[in-house]
Structure formats: C-alpha cells, structure tokens
Amino acid sequence: MRKLVVYCVLAVLMLVGALIVLIPHFAQSSPLHADEYAHLAQARDILETGKIRMRNPYLWNEPFHRRVESGFHVVIAGIALLPGISLMAALITVKVMVIMATLFFVFLLTKSLFKSSIAGLFAGAFFLMIPSSQDLLGFHYLVPLNMGIFLFIALLLFFYRYLIMRETKDIIIQAVLFLAAMVVYPLTNILFTIVVVLTMLFAYPRKLKVFLTPAFCISKKTQGIPNTLKLTDCGIPRSPFPRIQHYCV
C-alpha cells in the first residue's frame, strides 16, 4: 500500500512537471528562448536535407558550424516525422518527456542512495522548484543541456547500481547512455568520467579495483574457499560508502 502511495505521489510530481513546461505555451505557441529557435532550425535542416550538415542553417550564408549536439536535433526531427506533429509540437513533446524522465530518475537515484522513497520524493519536489531563467536556462526551455542533465543522472544511477550488484546489464546500459551523451551533450561524459575516476580513487585507492575482481579472490575461489570474501579480505581498503557491500565474484 505504501509503495502504491509513493508511486502515486511520484506520478503527481511528474504531471506537475509536465504542466510547468506546458503552461507557458498555452499563451505562446512559439519557442521561449533564442537557443530553441536555433536548435529548431537545425532540426528542420535535417528534415529538409536528410543529413547532418556541419553548417548553421539559421544564418543566410550558412557558415561552418561544428554540430556536436546533432543527436539532440535528430531526436526533435524524429518526433516531427510522426503524422500530424509539427516541429514546434515536437519541441514541446520532447520538452515534456525530458522533464518527466529527469524527475523520475532523480527519484530513483535518490531512493537508491538513501534507501528511502520519501527522500526520493523530496528530491523530485526540490527538482521541480529549481527556477528557470533566460541566462541560466532551466527545464522551461528545451536545450541540449537539459537532455544532458537527464543522461548524467541516468549514468550516475546505473553506475551506482553496478557498484552494488555488479551486473553486466548495468555496464551495457551505461555504455548506451554514454554513446548517446556523446552526440547529445558531450560535456555530460566529461563530468561523468570525473565522477567515476574520483569514486574509484577515493573508494578503492589500490589500483582502481572497482570493476575488476582481484586475483587474490580468484585464487581463493579455486582453492574451494567460499566466494563470500569481502574486498577487505582481498587487500582492498573498505569503501567509504557504508551502504555499498562489495563481494568477490
């Protein structure tokens, strides 16, 4: 019953998030930020030419423009290919999808870190209260930064899950998200790599053995000793994160 209540509250928060980005468009059906116009122009260029050109179609002479966020434009163009969906409708649709997905993953990440659904709901509510502005942007506007934030939170979640459960599927999901971030918002991968390296350095200072099963444990396992040895038994210092219990595979 409590789980049902938690997910009902989460659904309400996600609905509120959708309304937050939709309400401004009830009075104005055009983009809300200059960057949105630029990204719509590049999405339209993909639809009209059928390819990603390293040009800025928003200027009359189409100067060279390195489109490192082309994946973002492909997403908008892909939604616009659906029947009855204009480019502006595609922008609004993606904007709603991004804020709802980000809020959901904020909930999942916080719940995993603190082992508390209530903490996850509070994190989601706090996320909705972050203001948007023309200078600092925010989720009122659809820009690659917002999709990059979603991918960053998703990467953190599956990285943490791998530290806990050591399942291959989490590594595969991280790889897919990492590749997506490369073409949507490359800065996401830089920040995520920094987090991973710092985690490995401070949590496991001996040769960064977060992802590798120590040879000592393998030799113990081949000798018939149960594989419930902790990493501290393998010569690896205890993790500073008390909630993470690591065992040798």
- Tell me the pLDDT tens digit for each residue of 220-234: 444 454 544 444 444
pLDDT averaged over the chain? 83
Same domain? 39 vs 113: yes
Same domain? 174 vs 243: no
At 201, list the tokens.
């350095």
Q: Helix or strand or coil: residue 197?
A: helix
pTM for this prediction: 0.79
Rounded Cα distance, 239 and 249, in Å: 17
Same domain? 68 vs 173: yes
Q: Helix or strand or coil: residue 232?
A: helix
Contacts of 214 (CB under 8 A, 6+ apart): 231, 234, 235, 236, 248
Same domain? 22 vs 97: yes
The pLDDT confidence band at residue 118, using thresholds 50, 70 and 90, is: very high
Same domain? 31 vs 114: yes
Express as a percent the part of the chain with pLDDT over 90. 52
Question: pLDDT for 77-117, tens place per residue?
Answer: 999 999 989 999 999 999 999 999 999 999 999 999 999 99
At 54, list the tokens.
């390293």
Same domain? 111 vs 46: yes
| Amino acid at residue number 175 | A
Number of structural domains found in the chain: 2
The pLDDT confidence band at residue 209, using thresholds 50, 70 and 90, is: low
Same domain? 135 vs 246: no
- Cβ–Cβ < 8 Å for 123, 157: no
The pLDDT confidence band at residue 161, using thresholds 50, 70 and 90, is: very high
Rounded Cα distance, 181 and 178, in Å: 5
Helices (H), the chain: 2-27, 34-49, 70-80, 87-114, 117-128, 144-165, 168-184, 187-203, 215-222
pLDDT at 157: 97
**Total count of residues recorded for the chain:** 249
Residue numbers of the domain that contains 39:
2-203
Rounded Cα distance, 223 and 242, in Å: 30
Same domain? 68 vs 185: yes
Contacts of 223 (CB under 8 A, 6+ apart): none
pLDDT at 93: 93
The closest of 126, 129, 90 to 106, measured between CA atoms, is 126
Same domain? 21 vs 125: yes
Same domain? 9 vs 95: yes
Contacts of 161 (CB under 8 A, 6+ apart): 112, 167, 170
Rounded Cα distance, 158 and 36, in Å: 30
Question: pLDDT for 4-57, tens place per residue?
Answer: 999 999 999 999 999 999 998 888 878 888 888 888 988 998 999 988 988 877
More confident residue, 2 or 176: 176
pLDDT at 229: 45
State yes or no: pLDDT of 200 exceeds 50: yes
Same domain? 106 vs 224: no
Rounded Cα distance, 151 and 13, in Å: 20
The closest of 37, 57, 31 to 46, measured between CA atoms, is 57
Same domain? 136 vs 214: no
Residue-by-residue DSSP string for 3-32: HHHHHHHHHHHHHHHHHHHHHHHHH--S-S
